[in-house]
A and B are shown apart, each in its own frame.
Chain A
Amino acid sequence: MQNVYSRPKGLTEAEFAYCAGCFHSVAHRMIAEVMEELDIIDRTIGVCPVGCAVFMYEYMACDMIEAAHGRAPAVATGVKRVLPDRIVFSYQGDGDLASIGTAEIVHAAARGENITVIFINNTTYGMTGGQMAPTTLIGQKSTTCPTGRDPKCAGYPLRVCELLATLEGPSYIERVAPTNPAGFNRTKRAIKKAFQNQLDDKGFSFVEILSNCPTQWKMSPIESLKWIEEQMTKTFPPGVFVDR
């Protein structure tokens, strides 16, 4: 019998502790599959964020470093600069990457640092209980904007792909929405390309994954997919922003 689906070698035996329906598990699995397909598990160093994915080091079969909040691109830079023949990726949520770590991601991108960055944008601080994120949509409710994000007080959501696309450093920037089979395939292809680019020495590659948070959004996983498609993509349109 042909084995068509099994645990990728890029994952440890640990069971995901993420909430049911959460995209972190999906993104982790895709990265693990890509590492296996590219045969780079034993030369990859991953840098995980502070946030829900803080425990990513439990799940990935490669060497892992847990960074301070927002600092993963700087830590990844430190690793990559001293070990240029290794594959280094950071995995960061929106609070980590687009708020407290804005400087680190912008400058890693501007340097064209030859690393891979996977950005999970779910418009919320999931781990700390659903506070307003830099990517929270206008009008979207959170525990720190209980009547909905009001730009007069809280400003506007940050579009990271569009921001980074103004720089000359990045070689690849894409935003994907894995809310249906086509989006799923698109996401996997984007992650693989972002790692392949590093192997090809092309420089900074960045994939933003529009993600859900059924728990903090107070939706079923199915409803959360619909909300990404109908609401999030209006502010964060999927697409390739840089590919050179």
Chain B
Amino acid sequence: MANKKLIKGNVAICYGALAAGCDAFFGYPITPQNEIPEKMSELMPQHGRVFLQAESEVAAINMVYGAAAAGKRAMTSSSSPGISLKMEGLSYIAACELPCVVVNVQRGGPGLGNTLPGQADYFQAVKGGGHGDYRLLTIAPWSVQECYEFMPLAFDLADRYRNPVMVLMDAIIGQMLEPVDLHGNFEIREYPKPWATNGAKGRARNVINSLWIDNTVMEDLNNRLQAKYEKARRHEVRFWNYQTADAELVLVAYGSTARICRTVVDLARDEGLPVGLLRLISLYPFPEREIEALARQGSRFLAVEMSAGQMVEDVRLAVNGISEVDFYGRTGGSVPTPIEILENVRNTLSGPRVASAQARREV
């Protein structure tokens, strides 16, 4: 029998980070992610690795910057208001093309908000968040098992693309208990880091820097970043289709909301309604081609989020007017129930279709 442990999502993040070969964790207390620094303070020293509680979120991300510059696998975790404070550092880390992992256990916002679940940091996660043209590769687990398994993936993506990776969760995913198979069967790839500032013994000195006074050099860096993101858009799109083949209506959701939507699909199918779910795993890169293909197949969409409507904008961009995109969301720490969503499914399906099938064929 598999070695299963009943743990919280936040704790699974820690075991996943350990399995991924995370060398250093720097963090700051904020609810609902406190189990991460707490567990890391126990696990990391046990394994001869670095744990440090920073004086602030700002310091924590800059410690990550230093450890990543030194060529080590480094991470931090926080929740919405704390993530806002890390945005300056993330912009620098992305500009310096350093790998690192940042976990955001989203809570209700804006402002201090509350410690209840939220998904309203979507824009901040997938559009950059800090200043300048950069992106965070963003993945969203929907189970405690995935909290464990996505950490090696996150560190691998970070090293492969030399880019910060965000693991975007919410208070439900972080706090819920589920049995997890801590199998540890990960193929951890080692990436050479000849660029690391770890002492110039036997080589020319290295410089980690994001200051480029010459605009053409700065533009070259930007072009290199964009080429990298284009590569990620080709190779790192992740999603899961559930009953979409014949779906007239496809729910689009990620994280805990996708779990709820899966229940909604089953309830709708029981009523004979042709409903499916496209569960997003990678939020950046966004599964735009998959959504477009579903639109061409004739599906319409209902984006469901714990926000006032953020991910739905990317769904609309992907659909590009060839099908209908509706939205249902709860925000500020409220969680949509299956019944609420099902009500919206019924209403949406009975609503008029604006975009014509003709348009879908022609575009």
CB of B275 within 8 Å of the partner chain: no
Report which residue of B59, B89, B201 has the largest number of chain A beta carbons within 10 angstroms of its beta carbon: B59
Is A65's CB under 8 angstroms from B66's CB?
yes
B165, CB-defined interface residue at 8 Å: no
B61 → chain A, closest Cβ, in Å? 8
**B69 located at the interface, meaning its Cβ lies under 8 Å from any Cβ of chain A in the complex:** yes
* Complex interface bits, A30-74 against B, C-beta within 8 A gives 1, otherwise 0: 000000000001111101000000110100111111111001001
- Kindly state whether residue B5 has any CB partner on chain A within 8 Å: no
* B62 with A67: CB separation less than 8 A: yes
CA distance A73 to B53 in the complex (A): 14
Asked whether, in the complex, the Cβ of A75 is within 8 Å of the Cβ of B205, the reply is no
Name A55's closest neighbour in chain B (CB-CB): B211
Given A77-B66, A81-B50, A82-B50, A64-B205 contact (CB < 8 Å):
yes
B74 touches A63 (CB 8 A): no
Q: For chain A residues 80-122, which have a beta carbon within 8 Å of chain B?
A: 80-83, 86, 103-104, 106-107
CB proximity of B43 to chain A, nearest CB, Å = 16
Which residues of chain A are near B200, meaning CB under 8 Å?
Answer: 41-42, 61-63
* Residues of chain B within 8 A of A75, CB atoms compared: 62-63, 65-66, 69
Does the CB pair B66–A86 fall under 8 Å? Answer: no
Check B52 for interface membership: any CB of A closer than 8 A. Answer: yes
Q: Please give, as numbers and ranges, the residues of chain B lying within 8 Å of A213 by CB-CB distance.
A: none
The reply to whether B199 and A103 contact each other, CB–CB distance below 8 Å, is no
Known: A42-B199, A66-B209, A81-B24. A107 touches B70 (CB 8 A): no
* Inter-subunit contact A71/B209 (CB<8 Å): no
Instruction: List the B side residues contacting A57 at CB < 8 Å.
Output: 207, 209
- Pair B56/A103 contact, Cβ less than 8 Å: yes
Q: With both chains docked as a complex, state the minimum distance between the C-beta of B77 and any C-beta of chain A, in angstroms.
A: 15
Q: Is the CB of B70 within 8 A of A45?
A: yes
**Cα A236 to Cα B253 with chains together (Å):** 60
Shortest C-beta distance, B23 to chain A (Å), equals: 6
Q: Are A78 and B208 in contact, with the CB atoms below 8 A?
A: no
Q: A74 to B199, Cβ gap below 8 A?
A: no
Q: Which of B23, B199, B207 contacts A82 (CB 8 A)?
A: B23
Interface residue? B352 (CB, 8 A): no
The interface bits of chain B over 192-221 (1 if a CB of A lies within 8 angstroms of the residue's CB, else 0) are 000001111110011111110000000000
Which residues of chain B come closer than 8 Å to A86, judged between CB atoms? 70, 198-199
Nearest-neighbour CB distance to chain A for B76, whole angstroms, equals 10
Closest to A113 in B: B52
Cα distance, A78 to B208, chains bound together (Å): 14
CA distance A70 to B62 in the complex (A): 10
B88 within 8 A of A: yes
Q: Residue B72 at the A interface, CB < 8 A?
A: yes
Interface status of A160 (Cβ within 8 A of chain B): no
State A55–B63 Cα separation when bound (angstroms): 21
Give the Cβ gap from B121 to chain A, nearest Cβ, in Å: 21
Instruction: Determine whether the beta carbon of A81 is less than 8 Å from that of B197.
Output: no
Given A43-B199, A68-B89, A86-B198; A74-B54 close (CB under 8 Å): yes
B52/A66 in contact, CB under 8 A: no
Residues of B at the A interface (CB closer than 8 Å) are: 23-24, 26, 50, 52, 54-56, 58-60, 62-70, 72, 74, 88-89, 92, 197-202, 205-211
